[in-house]
Amino acid sequence: MSTPAFAAALVPALVWIPLSLGALSFVLGRAASPWLVLPGLLATAGVVPALLPLAAPGGIAAYHLGGWMPPLGIAWRLDGLSAIMLAITAIVSAGVGIFASSMMNRMDRQSEWFWPLLLLLIAGLNALFLTRDLFNAYVTLEIVSLAAVALVTITGTSAPIVAGMRYLLAALAGSLSYLLAVALLYARYGTLDFDLLATVMQDDPIGMLALALATAGLFIKSALFPLHVWLPPAHGSAPAPVSAMLSALVVKAGFYLLLRLWFEVFAALDSLAAARVLIGLCGAGAVVWGSMLALCQQRLKPLLAYSTVAQLGYLLLLFPLAEVVSAWQGTLILVCAHGTAKAAMFLAAGIILRAYGHDRIIAIGGAARGVPLTTFALGLAGVSLIGLPPSGGFAAKWLLLVAAFESGRWWWSFVPLGGGLLAAGYVFIILARAFEAPSADTGDFAQVPRVAELAALALALVSFMLGFAGNAVAIGLDSAIAEMTRS
Amino acid sequence: MTGHSLIYAIAGALMVGIGLRALFLQAHLLTKIIAANVTASGTFLVLVGVAPFNGGAHPDPVPQAMVLTGIVISVSITAYALALLRRLYDVTGATDLPEERRK
């Protein structure tokens, strides 16, 4: 039944379903929201598998907004890389949606803003992963950032408001930097289409300045070291389902656009080798700095937030190793493995916060007995973060190691190896406390909905099982990698 | 014709510089929000200033369309930032971020 024409017609549905449901749930308010939104969220997620065949080589689906063709119109296209990002967005948002619908009933009044903003965020992410136009990408980035900041501040208490304000100003500076790059490129080449730009791109100062501005802007938006300082307070103080969406997906959006810029639009430029090494060094810095600060945290959510800073560093190792196919495989598996693992851990942190009324790591003794499923989810996701076999994180880091040796630049292998040790440090800090007996200051223990625990566990299982599915995943990645490395 | 519009582009670049300076150096959040608006306006001026004709005899409408979209985004972000600042003031009594507070 899933003919290519039918499936291609579904491509815009990935954006209009969440967008229209978001608007509807805003109008209807709290009463209708979870019961209206959750089926829509799952329907959006259900569209993705129907689209995956289109992402195979030669089956790329294009959609031209309003029927206008580039250079005047805006093209959307579903290719392998888009399909991976859409799939991980669908999985994580379905898990977060199920978690939030079971936990939200008892949350305060502000929760009525949660569903419209969540759907707006998903619509923005899906549009970003489809677009082939630099300015359209700017618009979708703004939708994502605005929805993300609003979600951080949703409880209206002081810590998230301060963190959200910092996040908003940082995101604003980042997007203006990106917009300036768009202006320069349009002035120089008269087009904004990724493919048309790639064919006319020349090695000149204007292009370099544009790439530098866009990269700096996206580094801020993705909280890539050393422009990450806004992230830990924002992800650490937001409600758990929001932190899960932000750490799993929103920070990857800027990274995704970096890949499009560096390996499609600017792929033909040979003079970028030194800059790619520099980006790789930023990645190494992120792994070390983020992990060290994660080790110093007293509370669970800030620890996870610093861990996100660290894990994003691995993704940047792709830049100096990009000519090796296994570097692409490793990076794309890591995007999926980290996304699901970190979402699972933030949801688990939300459950612990509900059960204990706090998330101080030193006082979560008894969690293994009180919320066993949640502790199991933390453990599974933690194994994937560290990169122990046979998890998805292991497959990703193994492929990055292979890439470092294959390229002959073996010194990059120290980053995943050392980072794994540091990650083991902070994951075991959590697990050791969770398996302790409850201490005197643990306090009372509140009941937690079983569905919420299962949602966290399901996401952790996906992250863990990615390692078993390594071969199938690698084959699925081949089309994405073939497109990105063809030049 | 090119020289004429280049004035706007250069003025835009200057505005971006002025705006960014205030965005990073001023502590008061209202000043920062205004600075972000100055930066955005500068960026828009660069957009319409650097590519007005693009080889043809008629003005290119695409940068103007982009600037219109950009203004809509800028207005909504400003509105949200101002609302957030009011809330920040209500909750904490401060109009700046803790790390930038003068001792």
Q: pLDDT of A171-210, one tens digit each?
A: 999 999 999 999 889 888 888 999 899 898 888 888 899 9
DSSP H or E run through A200:
helix A194-200
pLDDT band at A293 (very low <50, low <70, confident <90, very high): very high
Determine the pLDDT at residue A2: 47
Q: A-chain residues within 8 Å CB-CB of B6?
A: none
Contact status, residue B84 vs residue B92, Cβ threshold 8 Å: no
Q: B-chain residues within 8 Å CB-CB of A164?
A: 84
Contact status, residue A268 vs residue A183, Cβ threshold 8 Å: no
Higher pLDDT, A353 or A106: A353
Residue of A172, A184, A188, A197 for testing the chain B interface, max B β-carbons within 10 Å: A172
DSSP H or E run through A255:
helix A251-260
Per-range mean pLDDT, top range of A192-206, A256-270, A339-353: A339-353
Between CA A160 and CA A233 the distance in angstroms is 8
Q: CA A224, A226, A227, A231: dihedral to nearest 10 degrees?
A: 70
Q: pLDDT of A94-146, one tens digit each?
A: 999 999 888 876 555 666 788 889 999 999 999 999 999 999 999 999 999 99
When computed from its CA atoms, the radius of gyration of chain A, rounded to whole angstroms, is: 21
Q: pLDDT of B15-55, one tens digit each?
A: 999 999 999 898 899 999 999 999 999 999 988 887 655 55
DSSP A246: I
Q: A-chain residues within 8 Å CB-CB of B81?
A: 165, 168-169, 172
Count of residues in chain B: 103
Confidence check on the interface: ipTM exceeds 0.90, yes or no? yes
Nearest to A89 by CA among A340, A344, A378: A340
Residue A478 touches chain B, beta carbons under 8 Å: no
Residue A459 touches chain B, beta carbons under 8 Å: no
Between CA A238 and CA A295 the distance in angstroms is 20
Cβ contact, residue pair B62, A72, below 8 Å: yes
Q: B-chain residues within 8 Å CB-CB of A162?
A: 88, 92, 97-98
Between CA A318 and CA A397 the distance in angstroms is 12
Sign of the torsion angle spanned by Cα atoms A111, A95, A310, A330: negative
Q: pLDDT of A295-305, one tens digit each?
A: 999 999 999 99
DSSP A131: B
Q: Which of A146, A153, A158 sits opposite B77 (nearest CB)?
A: A146
